[in-house]
Amino acid sequence: MTESPVLRLPNAPLGRRALAILLDVALSALLALAVTFFLAVATRSPQPVGPGAAFVVLLGAALAVHLLAPLRWQATPGMRATGLKIVADEDLPPQPIQIGLRGVIAAITLAGLLPIPFQIISVLFDPDRRSSSDWLSGTRVVLDPDRDTA
């Protein structure tokens, strides 16, 4: 008896993935700005945080977007808005450790600790359009059949 081929969820199109990343970067920046504004109001200081603290605020905002949201929704807010989601091998939901590793790599890249080409180059050349954080965590970004309208 022949086995039927395994149908995989379609990989995220490059344009939609790029839009999701831009939305996530904008949301991370807005969260960091909101926290900084709150600190300025709370401390009544025009410069409430120094460069080191600003880095921590940005890293925290990026972790919220790239770690906390995917733990809840299997997608970052930008991915949800563009009809994408994160899956593990065999298109199964990713394990929390996979989301954690992927989220930390994405957040430290956004905060400037890893060069952005580290993430982008692999997306351009990998057949599954996996970024380095996807590759290292054993995940990939696909069209979400429950949310995709295109």
Average pLDDT of the chain is 83
Q: Is residue 7 part of a domain?
A: no
Q: Is residue 128 part of a domain?
A: yes
Question: pLDDT digits over 89-117, tens only?
Answer: 888 999 999 999 998 888 888 777 666 77
Q: Is residue 64 part of a domain?
A: yes
CB 101, CB 136: distance < 8 Å? yes
Q: Is residue 60 part of a domain?
A: yes
Q: Is residue 6 part of a domain?
A: no
Name residues whose C-beta falls within 8 Å of residue 101's C-beta, 6 or more positions apart in sequence.
Answer: 133, 136, 137
Q: Domain residues for 27?
A: 14-143
Q: What is the mean pLDDT of residues 117-137?
A: 81
**Euclidean distance between CA atoms 4 and 135, whole angstroms:** 27
Question: pLDDT digits over 29-68, tens only?
Answer: 899 888 888 877 887 776 666 777 777 888 888 889 989 9
Q: Is residue 4 part of a domain?
A: no
Q: Is residue 1 part of a domain?
A: no
Total structural domains within the chain: 1
Predicted confidence (pLDDT) at residue 143 exceeds the cutoff of 90: yes
Q: Is residue 3 part of a domain?
A: no
**Euclidean distance between CA atoms 32 and 134, whole angstroms:** 25
**Euclidean distance between CA atoms 81 and 133, whole angstroms:** 20
Predicted confidence (pLDDT) at residue 149 exceeds the cutoff of 60: no
CB 107, CB 21: distance < 8 Å? no
Predicted confidence (pLDDT) at residue 87 exceeds the cutoff of 90: yes
Residue 44: which region, alpha, beta or left (left: phi > 0; alpha: psi -120 to 50)?
left
H or E element in which residue 88 lies: strand 84-88
Give residue 7's pLDDT band: very low, low, confident or very high (50, 70, 90).
low
